[in-house]
Amino acid sequence: MKITSPSLRASHLNPNELALNRCQAALELKDKGNYGLAREAMESLWKRVGEAPDIKGLHPSVAAEVLICVGILTSWIGSKEGIEDAQEAAKNLISEGITFYESVNDVRKIAAARAEIAYCYFREGAFDEARIMLTEAIQKLTTEGNTRARALLKLTTVEWAASRHNVALGILNDNAYLFKKITNNIIKANYHNELAVVLRHLATSDPRNRGKLLQQAIGEFEAADHYLQLAKNKVFRASVKNNVGLILLNLSRFKEAHRYLEQARRLAASIKNKLLAAEIDESRAQVFIAEKKYKDAEAVARNAVRVFEKSGHQCLLADALVTQGIALARLKRSEPAQFIFQKAIEVAHQVGALNKAGLAALTMLEELDDLTVETLYVAYDRASDWLSKSQSQDILLRVNAAARKVIIRSRSELGGEEAAAEDPIEALFNKPVDLQSEVLRFEGRVIQRALGKANGSLTRAAASLSMSYQALAYILESRQKDLLKERTPIRRRSRRDLAQPESAQQS
């Protein structure tokens, strides 16, 4: 059943024709970034995100179209407005629509709908699931046209987001002929935007061709902007300006970068897109860091983090947390910086975005010099594993540099001056070990770190070690006398002090 007119007031249409007409209009408005109007177009069938549409009395194939349309809108609007669990609701709606097409074995419609579900998984950060579903869908979308083109663009996004940049470039180059045939301005703009994003990422791993690749990326962004102007799409234009700002950051052209990012944020604000504004804020924070304006960077990144936490968009949250962590580390606020970095690792790991978890762990190693040896080892082990398949030469060089840092710090921590005086090869030989001495040395290192973090306060150090003040004082005076100098001076207590509660006496 094909509806040629997008009019929503066609009284001559029957309920099935009117429902299809509304779906077509809503999806066209979505492509233009007009999510509010897209929701209004479906008003007689669907009231709000989180509710199911009214499909009573509709033909099964029409009911499927309505469910899938509402699922797509739920995913986009939920992402834009930061609605919790919106992606899960979208997947359920699209899956319900698929059941209607399965009953009539409409392979093309099923594949197209599965590509939409895959993108919901991507928005949740589940890259592997998204990649598998999109690959299967594309294999069944054999007809060259808008549907196959959209699925290919979705797969490209998944691949570059997972740092598989050469794979993403291959998809775009192998299908360039298809996108030349496409007449839809939004799809053509998306193609040039994706190509620009991939080129920008590739520039980081190819220093010799960096300038050339970045210039090509700017050209592709300009082509994307041309088609977006034709489509009158403010949402995507803001994204393009954000991306150009990041390229200018890479070229150390900070004033120009800020100008583009401010334009992008104004566009995002004009259409009340909080998620997009937060993405732009994260980019602005990166520029502030490059300018060594760390307080500004931390404040802007923190604002982005709050938005991403509410939206449930975990990959964007992980990126913003890493940026905030860098700013805190540069401000010499090590403890909160470590907390933020570890939160980024956890968030990315929970959704299977291991490359982002690896980058968070690697950045923590680079930015913080006072991590415990255990944390150093684990962070490096996980980062090197999660980033082992990265195609970025820059990332691999960073991993190697981190390895050297871990080795130097470990030798210093474990052996100190005594180890430095030894022939390093001796460490590889089997030698007898005095268990008691090793235990005492380990105990001393743990207590020394606790005193350092407590600024010498025996009371706070004891609390962090889950022991009493008296027990820690006894250990120092009996078997760790070298550490007595690490504590604050003992204050001799008067008779009045002795009459006070014990907690008030301890220093």
- pTM of the predicted structure, to 2 decimals: 0.60
The CA distance from 45 to 162, in Å, is: 37
Query: Is the per-residue pLDDT at 130 higher than 70?
Result: yes
CB 285 within 8 A of CB 306: no
Kindly compute the dihedral angle of the four CA atoms of residues 304, 309, 313, 317, in this order, to the nearest 10 degrees: 50
Q: How far is CA 157 from the centre of its chain?
A: 13
The CA distance from 261 to 281, in Å, is: 8
More confident residue, 367 or 229: 367
Residue whose token pair is 């993403």: 168
CA distances 320 to 192, 215, 339, Å, are 26, 26, 14
The CA distance from 307 to 266, in Å, is: 17
The CA distance from 443 to 479, in Å, is: 10
Which of 239, 151, 141 is closest to 189 using CA atoms? 239
Residue 433 confidence class, pLDDT cut points 50, 70, 90: low
Among the ranges 73-77, 116-120, 348-352, 384-388, which has the highest mean pLDDT value?
116-120
Residue whose token pair is 């598989």: 164
Across all residues in the chain, what is the average pLDDT?
85
CB 72 within 8 A of CB 105: no
Q: Is residue 142 helix, strand or coil? A: coil
Which of 186-200, 245-259, 292-306, 420-434 is predicted with the least confidence, judged by mean pLDDT? 420-434
Residue 295 confidence class, pLDDT cut points 50, 70, 90: very high
Which pLDDT belongs to residue 307? 92
Query: Is the per-residue pLDDT at 436 higher than 80?
Result: no
Which pLDDT belongs to residue 371? 87
pLDDT tens-place string over residues 214-225: 989 999 998 998
Which pLDDT belongs to residue 25? 93
Identity (one letter) of the amino acid at 254? F
Give 439's contacts (C-beta < 8 A, 6+ positions apart): none
**DSSP conformation letters of 85-130:** THHHHHHHHHHHHHHHHHHTT-HHHHHHHHHHHHHHHHHTT-HHHH
Which pLDDT belongs to residue 426? 52
Which pLDDT belongs to residue 428? 46
Query: Is the per-residue pLDDT at 281 higher than 80?
Result: yes
Mean pLDDT of 406-423: 60
pLDDT tens-place string over residues 443-499: 888 888 888 777 788 888 888 888 888 888 888 888 888 888 888 776 555 555 545
The CA distance from 173 to 120, in Å, is: 25
Query: Is the per-residue pLDDT at 6 higher than 50?
Result: no
pLDDT tens-place string over residues 345-366: 999 898 778 889 999 999 999 9
- Beta carbons within 10 angstroms of residue 350's beta carbon: 12
| pLDDT > 70 in the chain, percent | 89
N-terminal to C-terminal alpha carbon distance within the chain: 82
